[in-house]
Chains A and B, each alone.
Chain A
């Protein structure tokens, strides 16, 4: 057991400087890495219209693209390659996915695909989430899809897919 401060030899100047310096360096590095890491690893929640509007930063960014599976666009090779288009009623984006589509996957169902935009102009994804809700049917002509509600519904069940 150590006793009160008074009985200890004084802390050497070097030790103190070393400790303060090390702490300052560590704290700064930590802050830089943390906020840098945050900025690089954001996931954007976009519908096809948002995606078109942000085309410049879409390539390489992690995006969760939400919308409906456009009718007549599903193309499945029978094993694990899947292509279809996602629409929000205004814009449409071609999605190429690897993997087996989940049981509920069909035309006009709400989906969220996670992936990124390629330079060839299609969206590539390895994660497909399907809405379990009845509410997200094809909207009447001219009405946009409520993608915000779609995100909530799909992501609530996301880990189940």
Chain B
């Protein structure tokens, strides 16, 4: 019953999207107001139907209706309710269905937001969005249908993949990533609209910027949450392994980050219009490539629990999107003329361009390393992969350069600078860089790359903080308003600028955390009889014994390891091995003791027949700053994109006409 109802909803969604898409393009050609109005209604209908289908699936999961194929595949009466709810996205068909709902939400929100904006290009934008909606609802209706009717349902199911049940982060990581991936459909549609309309005006640029920033922030969060989940769950003591699927999520992030910055250059100088549009189109195509790599099982990885035969459909869509984008760019890009050009090498726009080129270089590096094994396997039939050293070796210099450019760019003014001005802006921040590198050197750091990272980090930190509070300083110096008002302006008129630098601050934290944690990690593997101790850096680990714990859906072997430093016990850590009743293999869960300076990370390998603990222990310095830094980045992005309220705009204008973004930057 539910199966048929679900299929009906999905088919109606497909119908709405298809009709809407055709109608939108008709409206574009004929300039018909009526058709555009109806297109909007069909977008809302698509969104409502998709959300309805998802709610229906949740209902089927919660009521354990095993006559629905997806429930039969991932459901189990033994799993806790929260696992049942999130198993909507624990497997392929469900995650594509969920994708449909997210797409519906995005399209409806973007349609509503732009209801009174740039009407001349909206038909193209809506038509493109709905064309993507057609593809996904086709996927849900056909190749990845989760609503098959099971004629003779079993009384119980196998339950979701235990790796996914093992941690709460699994509840938020996939939806966040989807909010990033799926959201890139909207800027893609605006970019297509810009090309079709032959114009990237201020209105459309504003829409493009907002709807790029929103999924960008989610993608940033999703990628890092994935790393965090891997760190907390997988037990190998790392957060990033250049796994093809991790790379798949990184690729669109790289191009999107480049685009977020090049949009600023379009806005300020009228340059890089075609380049920006190309980056946005690439971002969307890379999300599709990423989904294909994640979901088709062409790679062996931790994510390949979702192998299926939707690969060809995705590849077809990817090929279509690529050809469409290339043809569109070839035909229309010349219409997006620059309004000027870069006048001086020592200018902010030059370094925006340099930053963009580094991002593109990184994208190519990661893309080549990721797809190269596929090409070799297809051509020569030999199974190989590209090792982590390749990615590290390539990403390291590019990353450090990026960190440095993040300081150099904002230190320079837009347009032109004299040699003296440039030197005045560029030399002082080196002080902070040198101090940071020197402190690390005194504390025994000898890794050249880490010292370079710290220098670049310190340099950028000083520039960032200076630029962040520049408007405040100017206001106070001009004697207008109180200190409170001056700081208040950061969150008022200057919020966008302030948010951008807050995000940069977060990026510096993340870079330093990556640099330190990847070079200063200590690994120790040993076997401990009960009562025995081992040394890990300054810490002493004592194995106190183990115990069995039985939970409704699993049995766990828990080792108790006391952590002490200087003879004083800090805590007792409990790395564990979970045995799920529906699966044969045990799944380990590490125990992590987190401090601001570094984590102690314990992973249980085994307990042998004599009761000895096979232990893998890591000292992971500064890892927590990755998560803190990311939170800061997302906060910055939120500040930068939050629509300006009319009140703050009025007061800001009245209070300080000279301290608008224009004057301050």
Contacts and interface: CB of A to CB of B under 8 A. Distances in A.
Interface string A25-63: 010001001100110111111000000000000000010
A44 B606 CA distance: 29
B615 A44 contact: no
A14 B384 CA distance: 46
Report, nearest first, the 4 A-B pairs whose CB atoms are least far apart.
A2-B340, A100-B614, A41-B390, A103-B606
B383 interface: yes
Contacts of A159: 230, 234, 236, 241, 243, 301-302
**By CB atoms of chain B within 10 A, which of A42, A156, A159 has the most?**
A159
Contact of B525 (A38, A100, A105): A100
Nearest to B350: A19
Contacts of A40: 389-390
A161 B233 CA distance: 11
A41 B386 contact: yes
A38 B368 CA distance: 9
A80 B615 CA distance: 9
B300 A151 contact: yes
Contact of A156 (B302, B357, B390, B584): B302
Given A8-B343, A34-B394, A100 B615 contact: yes
Interface in A99-114: 99-105
A62 B588 CA distance: 27
- Could you say which interface size class chain B belongs to? 35 or more
Specify which of B300, B304, B369 lies most central, judged by the most chain A CB atoms within 10 Å of its CB: B300
A72 interface: no
B163 interface: yes
Contact of B368 (A34, A79, A134): A34
Nearest to A78: B527
Contacts of B324: none
Nearest to B613: A100
A103 B377 CA distance: 33
B59 interface: no
A38 B614 CA distance: 36
B551 interface: no
B390 A45 contact: no
Contacts of A155: 300-301
Contact of A43 (B338, B368, B385, B415): B385
Contacts of A38: 368-369, 372, 386, 390
Interface of B: 163, 230, 234-236, 241, 243, 268-270, 300-302, 304-305, 338-341, 343, 345, 357, 361, 364-365, 368-369, 372, 383-390, 393-394, 415, 525-527, 577, 584-588, 605-607, 612, 614-616
A80 B386 contact: no
A98 B525 contact: yes
Nearest to B614: A100
A3 B384 contact: no
Given A41-B386, A42-B387, A80-B526, A160 B302 contact: yes
B578 to A, nearest CB: 11
Contact of A101 (B236, B372, B384, B614): B614
Interface in A73-129: 78-80, 98-105
B527 A79 contact: yes
Given A5-B340, A8-B340, A160-B234, A132 B584 contact: yes
A158 interface: yes
A143 to B, nearest CB: 21
14 contacts: A11-B341, A33-B394, A37-B393, A41-B393, A79-B526, A100-B525, A100-B526, A104-B586, A152-B300, A155-B301, A156-B305, A157-B302, A159-B236, A161-B236
A75 B584 CA distance: 26
Contacts of A105: 606
Contacts of A132: 584-585
A17 interface: no
A78 B532 CA distance: 13
Given A2-B269, A80-B525, A103-B586, 7 more contacts: A2-B270, A11-B341, A80-B527, A102-B605, A103-B614, A104-B586, A158-B301
Given A2-B269, A15-B345, A156-B304, A41 B387 contact: yes
B527 A102 contact: no
A48 B318 CA distance: 39
A111 to B, nearest CB: 14
Contacts of A41: 386-390, 393
A160 B235 contact: yes
Contact of B606 (A2, A5, A101): A101
Nearest to B605: A100
Given A4-B339, A43-B384, A100-B606, A160 B390 contact: no
Contacts of A101: 605-606, 614
Contact of B390 (A37, A99, A104, A134): A37
A44 B373 CA distance: 10
Contacts of B269: 1-2
Nearest to A161: B236
Contacts of B339: 1-4
Contacts of A15: 345
A44 B380 CA distance: 13
Contacts of B230: 159
Contacts of B304: 156
B385 A45 contact: yes
